[in-house]
Each structure stands twice: as structure tokens, then as C-alpha cells.
Amino acid sequence: MTEKANYRAKKAEDALEEMKRQNARSDMAKEARKMLADEDITIPDELVMNLVAEDADGTKAAVEAFSTMYKEAVQKAVKDALKGKAPKAGNGGDKPPMTKEQILAVKNPSERQKLIAENITLFQ
């Protein structure tokens, strides 16, 4: 009889400890979300749970490291997006360059003026 009672007590203690661990992880996840929100970072709960450690110090260190890497990655992406491709000199780069004679042979005066402006180096 005492073995059965000891077994049930042990099982209840284990369940209580597991609930305490889950509660602590939930509290740390809330704190991690708050820390990320303070840095204007919003990520899915699944990713937040990967940042949560067994203790508060570990969670804080993981969140801070993630925040730093996240911000650096965003800055790099923004810089790369702003770089773009430099415009090609001349007539837009897609068409072969026109000669002065070809431009002067264009009958439409507005089109001819546009081509002269695009290829002004030929007329200097």
C-alpha cells in the first residue's frame, strides 16, 4: 500500500514540477516578447520559444543576441536594396549607341531633340 501511495505522490510531484517549468517558460516567453517589442521587433511565437532558455539570464542573452543579429541583417538588406544597379551612361544601355548621322536623320523633330539630349556627347 505504501508503495502505491509513494508512486502516486511521486507522480503528482513530477506533474507539479512540470507545470512549474511550463509556467516559468511561459513567463520568460512573455518577457522575451516584451524585450523584442521594446526593440520594435515582431516575430512569431514559435521563434520566440526558441529564444527562451531555462533561466532568465539565458533568455535575456539569447534575446539580445537575436536583436543584434536581426538589426544587422535588416540594415544589410536595406543597404543592398538601396544599392541597386548604377544607370548606364549613354542612351539607356539596352540599344546600341546611335551615331550623330543616325540621330540627325530622324524625321520627327521632338524625337530627334530627345535623342540629341540623350547623346549630347556626340554634339559637343
Please count the other Cβ atoms lying within 10 Å of the Cβ belonging to residue 28. 23
pLDDT digits (tens, 9 = 90+) for 55-65: 888 989 999 99
Q: What is the pLDDT of residues 31-44, one digit of tens each?
A: 999 999 998 998 88
**Residue 18 CA: distances (Å) to CA of 15, 29, 30, 33:** 5, 16, 18, 22
| pTM, to two decimals | 0.55
Q: State which residues of the chain have pLDDT below 70.
A: 85-96
Residue 65's pLDDT is 92
Of 59, 9, 58, residue with least CA distance to 31 = 59
Residues 52 and 29: beta-carbon distance below 8 Å: yes
